[in-house]
Amino acid sequence: MKNKIRGCGGTRIVMQPLEDYIAEQVFVRLDSPALRKAIAAQESGDDPTAELRNKILDGERKLKDLAYEKDDGLISDQKHRNRRARLTDRLEANA
């Protein structure tokens, strides 16, 4: 009896070689001078994007806190909309 290959048009993919190839490509991409430079800058404290990243993280935290205040009924809908608009504008200015 003949083994039938199931799949789209009788095509199949042997997973292990594909997974090996993908893993190799990921490591090739990660082993780049640009990534090494970025990691070194971050570790040494010379990361020029650190201040911006911290501003963005702070803005996202404030938005989350604002949502909790709204959910808990601590602020009105109008105050929520106004503060959310201000925070969103700041975040977009930093992006």
User: Measuring CA to CA, how many Å separate 48 from each of 30, 44, 53, 54?
Assistant: 21, 11, 9, 11
pLDDT in tens, the chain (95 residues): 455 656 666 666 678 888 899 999 988 888 888 888 878 877 777 777 778 888 889 999 999 999 999 999 999 999 999 999 999 998 888 76
Alpha carbon distance 56, 68 (integer Å): 19
The domains of the chain are located at 12-48, 49-95
* Mutual angle of helices 77-94 and 50-71, in 10-degree steps: 170
pTM, two decimal places = 0.52
